[in-house]
Amino acid sequence: MSCTHEHTPTVVKAPIVIDRRWPEEGHTRIPAWVYTDPAVYQKEMDVFFAGKTWNYVGLECEVPEVGSYKRQWIGDRPVIMVRNEQGEINVIENRCAHKGAQICWQNTGTVKDFTCPYHQWNYDLDGNLQGIPFRRGALGKGGMPKDFDLKQFGIKRLRTVNRGGSIWATFSDEAPSFEEYCGEAVLAEIDHMLPGKKLKLLGYSRQLIPSNWKMYLENLKDPYHATLLHSFYITFGLWRADSKSECIPTGGGAHSVMVSHNEGKKKTEATSEMQRFRDDLQIHDLETVTPRAEFNRGRVGGAWIFPAAQFGIQANSLKTRHVIPRGPGAHELVFTYYGYEDDDEEMTRLRLKHANLLGPAGFVSMDDSEMLKQVQTGISGYPDSVSVVEMGGRDTEPADYMVSEVLIRAFYQYYRGAMGL
């Protein structure tokens, strides 16, 4: 693991005051306004993304060479992950120190340096300002003041950590160490999927979902819906109410670990309550739901690292999910699929094949995006409504069963404290 940090003065902002009252029932209720209120959204950006949190930026295999970069977002703030001349990975703000224009517009690429297209201020791969056109003026007139110091106008470089090939960054000087922030249970899941092997990038999928960003977070903390909504999961035993499972809130409820074990396609007493169980549903290519024996055989799930990342396993597919808020009513969802450099061709083929379960048109994930759209539409029309999350009880203790909303309750217990609600 490695960590880099550059300190720059912090602009002090006036705190955002939210004139809202949470329902008396506490974390078993969720008011609709948390998904629609612009003031709530802006405070979330400040507290959760620009605050004392560690944010997923990418995988080191996405920037394999000097000058290779990935454009990324931390909340609504654009940043750049780039490998510098020394081979180290930086995360810098994607904004010119002059007027604030983004200096990087492409999602990925390779450069020698960064030049702002507006006034062509030029920066090296560490974010240092290298040059300014007409710094000395033209024809003896104009130019910057003689005491203008290039060193004072570089782009801020964030604190970064590399954990097993995954890159994380924070804007805060006061954020705890990455290990302390995540905790043992989450770190164990990350290390399980990133065991020290060299990673190989396999591809991406991305989509824009018209719902608040927290709805996707809740969706991944909700095993209850997966046992009912997803015909593919239920029928082929990939995720069912009768599967052996663990639902563990961590980090005071901010993070979570959720794991299910594949029970295969079979009828049980529990399937009688699963309307989407299809005993007649057949798949011509069983390889789609049959993993090759690996460390994760029969294991589905992973860890959600607050605020916006999930590391997960589905059959032989290894992936990260990254949620990018796009205003109160939308978010972008990006899947990054990866494998290991020592994978043989057959394993790489299986990893890509099993990736078809997820993504915008995945056999499973397409159900989620449609439902989140419908939820956002429903609560937007009824802004004073309140959701109930009491499945499995009212507590926030770990559960060893799927029919539970404990991870959502634990999250909103954390959320209320962090937001002052």
Residue-wise pLDDT for 236-268, tens only, equals 656 566 677 889 999 999 999 998 776 555 545
272 CB-side CA count, 13 A = 3
The reply to whether 197 and 162 lie within a common domain is no
pLDDT at 298: 54
Token readout for 234 is: 């239920």
Paired with 155 in beta bridges are none
Q: What is the C-alpha separation between 335 and 337, in angstroms, rounded? A: 6
pLDDT at 240: 61
* 304 domain residue, yes or no: yes
* 35 domain residue, yes or no: no
Segment 97-111 mean pLDDT: 98
Structural domain ending residue among the three candidates 111, 141, 171: 171
| CB-based contact 295:192 (threshold 8 Å) | yes
What domain range is 269 assigned to?
182-419
pLDDT digits (tens, 9 = 90+) for 118-134: 999 999 999 999 999 99
Given a cut of 60, whether residue 31 has pLDDT beyond it is yes
Token readout for 179 is: 């290990």
Token readout for 195 is: 């065991």
Segment 61-80 mean pLDDT: 99
pLDDT digits (tens, 9 = 90+) for 326-347: 999 999 999 999 999 999 999 9
The reply to whether 226 and 151 lie within a common domain is no
Q: What is the C-alpha separation between 137 and 153, in angstroms, rounded? A: 18
When pLDDT is cut at 50, 70 and 90, the band that residue 74 belongs to is: very high
The amino acid sitting at 278 is R
pLDDT digits (tens, 9 = 90+) for 1-30: 555 554 444 455 677 878 899 999 999 999
Structural domain ending residue among the three candidates 171, 206, 225: 171
* 20 domain residue, yes or no: no
pLDDT at 271: 46
pLDDT at 280: 56
Q: What is the C-alpha separation between 205 and 207, in angstroms, rounded? A: 7
Percentage of the chain exceeding pLDDT 90: 73
Return mean pLDDT, the chain. Answer: 89
pLDDT at 315: 84
The reply to whether 199 and 302 lie within a common domain is yes
The reply to whether 187 and 130 lie within a common domain is no
When pLDDT is cut at 50, 70 and 90, the band that residue 391 belongs to is: very high
Task: Record the pTM.
Answer: 0.90
pLDDT at 97: 98
Q: What is the C-alpha separation between 92 and 123, in angstroms, rounded? A: 11
Cis peptide, bond prior to residue 9, ω within 30 of zero:
no
The reply to whether 302 and 349 lie within a common domain is yes
Given a cut of 50, whether residue 276 has pLDDT beyond it is no
The reply to whether 345 and 410 lie within a common domain is yes
Segment 197-204 mean pLDDT: 98
